[in-house]
């Protein structure tokens, strides 16, 4: 039977210094033997009330429910952090002893088995109806198999626990004890220090890559707008030049058809103006065409820069996330 829970930290992922620590459960060998003998209406000791450890509490990593004492205790990596009285299953509906895990959480759960009974801050540990949730505590085992906790305690705890967190239900009192073994992880001070520096460096690189990607997107958007604007300008200039060429051709014909000196003078004046206008529009169109050839290249380059920047952003973000995770404690179940 599996009866030990180990909590350790990896070489590159330990926040705390100290010898490798493994937590094992005492009195777990009797899990399957004493369940049926758990008293249905065992009175809770008067001193059994909610309690909080007099220190900063870390993330809970497991909970131990004692059917004998009608108590639940939550632990972080350094020891117990929260305790509270509970009410477990009554005779014929005993809460099963064993090693479980939080499978599902529901803030406002209503039972599908017991007349839509309200089970607030429910944390399921089996798929056949066993869960931890807020409920009335008469002072003895009185539930249909679930572990009832004080309403306020269950609400306060709901946001702190996580899917997969270990829940151990013991017919007797059980608590973790410390021990070490050569096969366990051994803290490497140099690796831990290097991991922290690496995480900080990669976080800065990820932030810089994100800024670069944003700037590349803005530059690409500007290049796209300029290309679209230039295309519209080209169409307009082409239309104006076509009209100017037509006016020049018209004035050429008018000048050729003029008979008198006065008519020739007027026609020549109009012809010169039309020729100047056509020449000016031709120059503008040539310049716009030259710009038009470079703009698509600039837009394509900007688009390529965005792609490269986004790739680097994703890579650095992933590396930074992995480096950050390397600093997190590792929980090992034995």
Find the CATH number of the domain harbouring 56: 2.40.440.10
pLDDT below 70 — which residues of the chain?
1-48, 115-116, 293, 329-334
Predicted pLDDT of residue 262? 83
Confidence at residue 147, expressed as pLDDT on a 0 to 100 scale:
96
Length of the chain counted residue by residue? 334
Sorted by sequence, the CB contacts under 8 Å of residue 236 that are 6+ apart come out as none
Within a domain: residue 61? yes
Whether 50 is covered by a domain: the verdict is yes
The answer on 88 and 56 residing in a single domain is yes
Q: Please indicate, yes or no, if residue 20 is contained in any of the structural domains.
A: no
Strand locations in 67-181, DSSP E?
A: 71-76, 79-85, 98-101, 104-110, 118-124, 131-134, 147-149, 166-170, 176-179
Domain assignment present for 246: yes
CA 204, 210, 215, 216 dihedral sign is: positive
Whole domain around residue 150: which residue ranges?
27-174
Domain count along the chain:
2
Is 169 found in the same domain as 31?
Answer: yes
Q: What is the pLDDT of residue 332?
A: 67
Contacts of residue 75, defined as CB under 8 A and 6 or more positions apart, other chains included, come to 23, 60, 61, 62, 63, 64, 81, 176
Q: Residue 85 carries which DSSP code?
A: E
Query: Do 196 and 255 have their domain in common?
Result: yes
Based on the fold, state whether residues 218 and 284 are members of the same structural domain. yes
325 and 196 share one domain: yes
Is 146 found in the same domain as 91? yes
* pLDDT in the model for residue 137: 94
Could you say which of 114, 147, 174 is where a domain stops? 174
The answer on 210 and 150 residing in a single domain is no
Tell me the CB-side half-sphere exposure of residue 174, using CA atoms within 13 A.
29
Clarify whether residues 212 and 127 are in a common domain.
no
Do 214 and 303 sit in the same domain of this protein? yes
- Determine the Cα–Cα distance for residues 22 and 5; give it in Å rounded to an integer: 7
Residue 325 falls inside a structural domain: yes
Specify whether 220 is located in the same domain as 321. Answer: yes
Last residue of a domain, one of 174, 200, 226: 174
> Nearest to residue 276, comparing CAs of 254, 245, 250?
245
Whether 273 maps to a domain, the answer reads yes
DSSP reduced 3-state for 133: strand
Structure tokens, 135: 């409920």
Same domain for 111 and 135? Answer: yes
The first and second tokens of residue 75, run together, are: 């632990």
CATH classification at residue 285: 1.10.287
Q: Are residues 168 and 47 in the same domain?
A: yes
pTM, rounded to two decimals: 0.50
Three-state secondary-structure class, residue 151: helix
Among 174, 201, 216, the domain boundary falls at 174
For residue 72, what pLDDT is reported? Answer: 96
Q: Is residue 304 part of a domain?
A: yes
Answer whether 71's CB lies under 8 Å from 168's CB: no
Looking at the domain assignment, is residue 6 inside a domain? no
């Amino acid at each position: 039977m599996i009866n030990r829970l180990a909590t350790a930290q990896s070489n590159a992922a330990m926040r705390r210094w100290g010898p490798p620590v493994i937590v094992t459960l005492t009195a777990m060998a009797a899990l399957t033997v004493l369940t049926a003998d758990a008293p249905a209406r065992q009175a809770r000791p008067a001193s059994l009330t909610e309690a909080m450890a007099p220190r900063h509490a870390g993330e809970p990593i497991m909970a131990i429910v004692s059917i004998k004492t009608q108590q639940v205790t939550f632990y972080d990596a350094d020891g117990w952090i929260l305790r509270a009285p509970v009410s477990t299953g009554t005779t014929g509906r005993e809460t099963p002893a064993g090693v479980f895990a939080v499978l599902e959480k529901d803030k406002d759960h209503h039972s599908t088995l017991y007349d839509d009974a309200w089970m607030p801050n429910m944390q399921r540990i089996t798929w056949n109806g066993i869960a931890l949730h807020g409920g009335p505590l008469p002072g003895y085992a009185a539930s249909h198999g679930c572990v009832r906790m004080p309403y306020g305690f269950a609400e306060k705890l709901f946001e702190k626990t996580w899917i997969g967190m270990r829940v151990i239900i013991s017919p007797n009192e059980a608590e973790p004890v410390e021990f070490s073994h050569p096969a366990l992880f051994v803290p490497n001070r140099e690796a831990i220090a290097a991991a922290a520096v690496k995480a900080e460096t990669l976080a800065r690189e990820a932030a810089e890559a994100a800024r670069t990607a944003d700037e590349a997107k803005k530059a690409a958007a500007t290049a796209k707008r300029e290309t679209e604007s230039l295309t519209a300008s080209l169409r307009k200039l082409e239309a104006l030049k076509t009209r100017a060429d037509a006016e020049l051709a018209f004035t050429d014909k008018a000048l050729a058809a003029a008979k008198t000196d006065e008519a020739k003078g007027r026609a020549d004046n109009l012809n010169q103006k039309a020729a100047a206008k056509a020449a000016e529009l031709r120059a503008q169109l040539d310049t716009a065409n030259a710009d038009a050839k470079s703009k698509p290249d600039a837009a394509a380059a900007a688009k390529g820069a965005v792609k490269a920047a986004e790739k680097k952003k994703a890579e650095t973000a992933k590396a930074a996330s992995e480096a950050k995770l390397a600093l997190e404690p590792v929980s090992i179940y034995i």
